[in-house]
Homo-oligomer: A and B are copies of this chain.
Amino acid sequence: MKYEAVTIKDIAKALGLSTSTVSRALRDSYEISPETKKIVIEYAQQINYRPNPIALSLKEKRSRSIGIIVCEIANSFFSQAINGIESIAYDKGYNVIIAQSHESYEREIINLQYLASRSIDGLLISVSSETENLDHLINLHKRGFPIVFFDRVVEDLATHKVGVDNYKGAYDATTELIKNGHQNIAMVAGSEFLSITKERVAGYHQALSDHDLPFDANQIEYCLHGGMLYEEVENALEKLLYHNNNKPTAVIASADKLTTNCLRYFKSKNLQVPSDIAMIGFSNLDLTDLLSPSLSVIRQPAFEIGQVAIELLIKQIENKRPTTEFEKIILQPQMIIRESSGAKKS
């Protein structure tokens, strides 16, 4: 069943005018007499005429839609970031097409091809945790396609980038645990490919060294799928807690899904938080306050990250000349101390 829309031709025919006159009248051109304008505009309103955006896109060579690729929308951080993106995009007359990589490199490529073939005007992407090879992005980028990275940025490409101060977030979290008496602090980290992981590890590392605590590489476990699979978090924690000479009394989880899956593991093992094992995690969940014990978190300004990213992207899209100067914007994370990061059993 087709849904037939009113076109400019219908108006022209009905009013005995040419399509150009109608088009100009609707755009309020100075070349059209006030009387003709009035007739056209009133008739258009009456039959509920709407310009066909597809025809416009074809002519203008732009679709006024932008693509977003994230791992999962069912992830508080990303759904909040998307809210930020949409809040600006809709105001500026762009619509967004969201695609999910589900942390798969392969699906990221498929999504990218799909979006590119839907002729989007630009791309906002937070790469999948499997993404190491960047050819798919480099290809587009070389051809002058506007790309902005957010959260999981890729350093090797000259584009706008928006993220948080991951180093500081991890540094603060580690320091908080140290202050509460923990000397053996482990880290459950995301994919090693991601720069955010490296930065968070670096922050953790530095905090230990600033407090004269030894750094032990065995205290870090990387999860390739960023905690999306419970099993990988389970394995990581098994190793850290039971196959490690140096049993930690506290854990830092470096991503949303890692944080919740760590909790799930502790619960299944009947480990009390924070007395058996303390923890603090990166998380943007809205109900970390409702958990028992309430969860200490590093929270990222997801909404703002989305807003800044889309603004940079639209600026680049609407630029007449190719962009040569790219910005890297770093927002500050927020540490919320609650119960889970407390002192160990004495």
Residues of A within 8 A of B (CB): 1-3, 5, 50-55, 57-58, 61-63, 65, 73-74, 76, 79-80, 82-83, 86, 90, 95-100, 114, 116-119, 143-146, 260, 263-264, 267, 285-287, 289-292, 316-317, 319-323
Output the nearest chain B residue to A48 by Cβ-Cβ distance. Answer: B139
- The answer to whether A1 and B143 have CB atoms under 8 Å apart is no
Which residue among A50, A73, A146 has the maximum number of chain B CB atoms within 10 Å of its CB?
A73
Q: Which residues of B contact A82 (CB under 8 A)?
A: 73
- The answer to whether A54 and B119 have CB atoms under 8 Å apart is yes
Known: A50-B117, A291-B292; 12 extra A-B contacts, CB below 8 A, are: A1-B146, A54-B54, A54-B58, A65-B97, A65-B118, A73-B83, A263-B287, A263-B290, A264-B289, A285-B287, A287-B291, A291-B291
List 27 contacting pairs A-B, 8 Å CB cutoff, sorted by A: A1-B316, A1-B320, A1-B322, A1-B323, A2-B61, A2-B62, A50-B116, A50-B117, A52-B119, A54-B54, A54-B57, A54-B63, A58-B58, A73-B79, A73-B83, A74-B79, A74-B83, A79-B79, A83-B100, A95-B97, A95-B118, A98-B98, A260-B286, A263-B290, A264-B290, A285-B287, A292-B292
Sorted nearest first, the 6 A-B pairs with minimum C-beta distance are: A292-B292, A74-B79, A1-B322, A54-B57, A3-B145, A50-B117
Copies held by the complex: 2
- The answer to whether B86 and A100 have CB atoms under 8 Å apart is yes
Q: Which residues of B contact A321 (CB under 8 A)?
A: 1
Q: Which residues of B contact A118 (CB under 8 A)?
A: 53, 65, 95
Q: Which residues of B contact A320 (CB under 8 A)?
A: 1
Cα A330 to Cα B175 in complex, Å, equals 52
Cα A86 to Cα B70 in complex, Å, equals 14
Q: How far is the CB of A244 from chain B (nearest CB, A)?
A: 24
Cα A73 to Cα B100 in complex, Å, equals 13
Q: How far is the CB of A171 from chain B (nearest CB, A)?
A: 27
Q: How far is the CB of A262 from chain B (nearest CB, A)?
A: 10
Q: Which residues of B contact A316 (CB under 8 A)?
A: 1
Cα A50 to Cα B119 in complex, Å, equals 10
Q: Which residues of B contact A145 (CB under 8 A)?
A: 3
- The answer to whether A290 and B289 have CB atoms under 8 Å apart is no
Cα A52 to Cα B118 in complex, Å, equals 8
Decide yes or no: A143 and B290 within 8 Å by CB, A55-B58, A58-B54 being known contacts. Answer: no
Cα A143 to Cα B50 in complex, Å, equals 14
Cα A5 to Cα B289 in complex, Å, equals 50
Cα A322 to Cα B83 in complex, Å, equals 36
Decide yes or no: A260 and B290 within 8 Å by CB, A1-B319, A74-B79 being known contacts. Answer: yes
- The answer to whether B97 and A96 have CB atoms under 8 Å apart is yes
Cα A290 to Cα B316 in complex, Å, equals 44
Q: Which residues of B contact A146 (CB under 8 A)?
A: 1, 3
